[in-house]
Amino acid sequence: MSIPVCNPIAFLIGTFLVCSGTAFSQGVQPAMTTSQPLAWTMQTSGTTASLRGIYSVDGKIAWASGTEGTVLRTTDGGAHWTKCSTPPDAQALDFRGVQAWDGAKALVMASGPGDKSKIFKTDDGCKTWTLIFKNPDAPDGFFDGFFADWSDEGGTPLWIGSLLGDPVHGSFRVFDTRDSGASWKQRESPDLALKGTELAAFAASNSLFPGNEDNDHMAQIFASGGKGGSIVWIEKSPEHTWSKIPVPIASGTDSAGIFSIASHSESVPYRGTIAQRITIIAVGGDYQKPGESAQTAAWSLDKGLHWTASTKLPHGYRSAVAYSAEQQAWITAGTNGSDISQDDGKTWQPLDDGNWNALSLPFVVGPKGRIGRLAPAGTK
């Protein structure tokens, strides 16, 4: 779904995994230790394009993307951002998503109606680009988000990935590749049909359909919104059936719903053994009401099957959320600012009042070439 200021796709989630096989209580909370005030240190992007995509490889290498076919790259933590060559015939495209392996290999996704939805790749540090997938449903369809799970086999980086698109003929579009984008296959499942419900996905920050981090313990998930409600879609394998779970995020209009989901897993002591605790956060709201804080964040601890609204909410609509391992805190951002949570999304505190679109920590991006890096307050 196209939105004025908003924008990787299967997201793997789980619940508590106890090494000894003992069930892990949802009431156990790990200590959050971040105490030093944080702020966004502004960086010079060298562009006035609206930046809608960001991907940090390791905090030093990062890629950003946006309107007018814009792609940027840094290899020094953002001290210098370099504008890449524009992919073929992409001067008018809106790059809402970017994924990368290193400073040479990257993918960008253009979101737009019909033939304006495409994916390009570069293998030479963005000197040249190759079109690897274009919307097969044109003039219908709209790419909303994608992910690439990279691996280094035999010294050659390879990836598998998936892509989420708006409904076509009443059914969400999900495409998969298992050969680094050489071929794509559409998933065929009657469960992806809307059955008369008015739902769509928001191409806000390329984080409605995040990549798999644990194939053994997590299932695929994506999120949607609209008049029909805020919904997470969870795939059951190997049956390839999908469940639709309501989430207490604002909905009921074409401009409201879930705009971003993210997870964080950590090992914690439990009854003399080690358990894995996985938290999932969903954020959103109504992008046409950026200052409205009601129903803008929720959290889950049971594979996304049940959700609880945050008790102290972000101070406005939010289009992106991510976990900072370095700061041991969650960050969420949107068009009227950003917020931080140190208790796994239960409560949020304002971080700033800037205009932002997307997160890949430690970076945040927004309109008019805005790029910030999360750092202790006062850092230059």
Q: List the strands of the sheet with 329-334, edge to edge.
A: 320-324, 329-334, 337-341, 349-352
Q: For residue 12, is it within any domain?
A: no
- 315 belongs to a structural domain: yes
295 HSE (CA, 13 A, CB side): 17
Residue 10 lies in a domain: no
In the three-class reduction of DSSP (H, G, I as helix; E, B as strand; rest coil), residue 372 is classed as: strand
User: Using CA atoms, how far apart are residues 276 and 19, in angstroms rounded to an integer?
Assistant: 8
In a structure prediction context, what are the per-residue pLDDT tens digits for the chain, which is 380 residues long? 644 433 333 333 333 343 333 333 333 344 344 467 999 999 999 999 999 999 999 999 999 999 999 999 999 999 999 999 999 999 999 999 999 999 999 999 999 999 999 999 999 999 999 999 999 999 999 999 999 999 998 788 999 999 999 999 999 999 999 999 999 999 989 999 999 999 999 999 999 998 755 444 457 899 999 999 999 999 987 778 999 999 999 999 999 999 999 999 887 787 788 877 889 999 999 999 999 999 999 999 988 999 999 999 999 999 999 999 999 999 999 999 999 999 999 999 999 999 999 999 999 999 999 999 999 987 77
Domain count, the chain: 1
- Tell me if 120 sits within 8 A of 90, measured CB to CB: yes
- What is the C-alpha separation between 61 and 289, in angstroms, rounded? 34
Give a yes or no: residue 80 inside a domain: yes
Q: Is residue 2 situated within a structural domain?
A: no
Question: Is residue 108 assigned to a domain?
Answer: yes
**How far apart are alpha carbons 369 and 72 in whole angstroms?**
10
Looking at the domain assignment, is residue 72 inside a domain?
A: yes
Burial class of residue 190 in the structure, from the number of CB atoms within 10 Å of its CB (0-12 exposed, 13-18 middle, 19+ buried)? exposed
Give residue 259's domain range. Answer: 17-376
The rounded distance, in Å, linking the Cα atoms of 283 and 259 is: 6
364/54 Cα distance (integer angstroms)? 7
Q: Is the dihedral of CA 268, 16, 258, 186 positive or negative?
A: positive
Position 213 scores a pLDDT of: 52
CATH number at 120 reads: 2.130.10.10
- C-alpha torsion sign, points 55, 59, 63, 65: positive
Residues 314 and 350: their CA atoms lie apart, in Å, by 7
Q: What is the pLDDT of residue 377?
A: 84
What are the residues whose beta carbons fall under 8 Å from the beta carbon of 267, sequence distance 6 or more?
A: 274, 275, 276, 277
Distance CA 93, CA 112 (A): 8
Give the separation between CA 131 and CA 118, rounded to whole angstroms.
Answer: 7
User: Using an 8 Å Cβ cutoff, are 265 and 278 in contact?
Assistant: yes
Measured over the CA atoms of residue 59, residue 335, residue 319 and residue 263, the dihedral's sign is positive
Residues 6+ apart with CB under 8 A from 218: 11, 12, 13, 14, 212, 263, 278
Closest CA to 110 of 120, 125, 102, 121: 120
Contact 261, 52 (CB under 8 A): no
Nearest Cα residue to 2 out of 120, 143, 102 = 143
| pLDDT value, residue 1 | 60
Q: Within 13 A of 29's CA, how many CA atoms are on the CB side? A: 11
Contacts of 224 (CB under 8 A, 6+ apart): 172, 199, 200, 201, 208, 230, 231, 233, 257, 258
Q: Are 292 and 269 in contact (CB under 8 A)?
A: no
* Beta carbons of 201 and 166 less than 8 angstroms apart: yes
- Is residue 362 assigned to a domain? yes
